[in-house]
Structures are given as structure tokens and as C-alpha cells.
Amino acid sequence: MFFEGRGPEHKTLRRIVEKLEKANISYAVVGAMAVNAHRHERTTKDVDILLTREGFERFRKLYVPKAYDRMPGRPRQFLDRRHQRTIDFLITGNFPGTGEPGPITFPDPAQVSETIENVRVVNLETLIQLKLAARRHYDFGDVVNLIRVHNLDESFLPKLHPSVRQDFVECLAEKRRDDEYEARQDRMLEDTDREDGYKAKKD
């Protein structure tokens, strides 16, 4: 149901997007839902949305607790009561990953978003850059798969902040190692099939 776009996560996404657009709040989808929008399919249990500080305050004023509940101890996470999925808000100017200061901050959604299937989503270079800056294993895994889906190579490097270019190169190398491994497995399978075919003819 998730990959058909009918799961509670997609319903949560469509509902929050509708409310943000109705309130004229600039936003961009990030995280796993953005990864899916950029054609790497993987599941998730929540929705991540990038807002400016002003947009976030407007969201809270208009929709909390009217439509969304606060999550204890998580000031930027809210529960969609209707679909029972959480929404995490990432704020322009904050830092990805641990939140410790670094060279990359969350950007203004209006400057880095594109429309995919009627939803504003961070563009590919921003998505990859933020995931590399977060420096988590599963984020690196997403980058490897985005490289594969979009057939990226070293020509993509100038689009990224210098601080994450080496991480991109390492993800690119990982993708190429995976490709080489799969190619070897395919060759071994072909050799086995040929050998089996030869034995069958001989018998």
C-alpha cells in the first residue's frame, strides 16, 4: 500500500501539504518522502517538512492543537490525529544531523524546492547535500541509491558544498563496488547455466 501511494504516510503528507498551501506557508518535503519523490523507493513511518521559522510559527498558531498534537519532548514533531503518523519539521537555519553547528544549514524552502506530482519537494542536489551533511549511515545509503537511480557521477560534484564532496565520492565508489559485485554474480550465474547446459547435452 505504501508504494501505491495509499498508505497513512501519504495521506498525512497530502493533508499537511493542503493545509500549508491553504495558509500560504512556504514548504518543501524532505527526508524519506523526498527520496521516494526522487525515484528511490523505500518505506518510512513519518513525514519530514522543511519550513522557515516564520512558517513554523504560523503552522503552530493555525493548526496546533486544532488538527495536530504536540509530541512530548519533541518541540518540532507533531502527530496527525486522523492518520496516526508523525510530522517532523526542519527549520531554515538549523543544522542537519545532530544539530551541532556546521558549514551547511537547512535552506529556505522557497529557494530549493520543485514540484513533483503537485507537491513541493527539495530538489535533488539539496536532498543529497542535506543527507551527506547529516552523516548517518542510512542517509549515506539513500545517497548511494539516488546516485544509482539518477546515474550520477563526478560531474555532480560542483552542485554540492565543498564540505560534503568527499562523502559523495565515497558514496559513488560504494555504488560502483555494488555494481561490480552484481556483475560478477551475473557472470557466475551465466557460467553455471552454460555448464549445466553442456552437461545436459552430454548426457
Domain 8-202 is found in CATH 3.30.460.40:
yes
Q: What is the rounded distance in angstroms from the CA atom of residue 196 to the CA atom of residue 161?
A: 52
pTM of the model: 0.89
Q: What is the pLDDT of residue 181?
A: 85
pLDDT at 196: 57
| SS3 at position 81 | coil
The answer to whether residues 21 and 62 touch, using CB atoms and an 8 Å cutoff, is: no
User: Which residues touch 58 (CB under 8 Å, ≥6 apart)?
Assistant: 23, 25
What is the pLDDT tens value at each position of the chain, 203 positions in all? Answer: 566 667 899 999 999 999 999 999 999 999 999 999 999 999 999 999 999 999 999 999 999 999 999 999 999 999 999 999 999 999 999 999 988 999 999 999 999 999 999 999 999 999 999 999 999 999 999 999 999 999 999 999 999 999 999 999 999 999 999 999 888 887 777 656 566 555 556 65
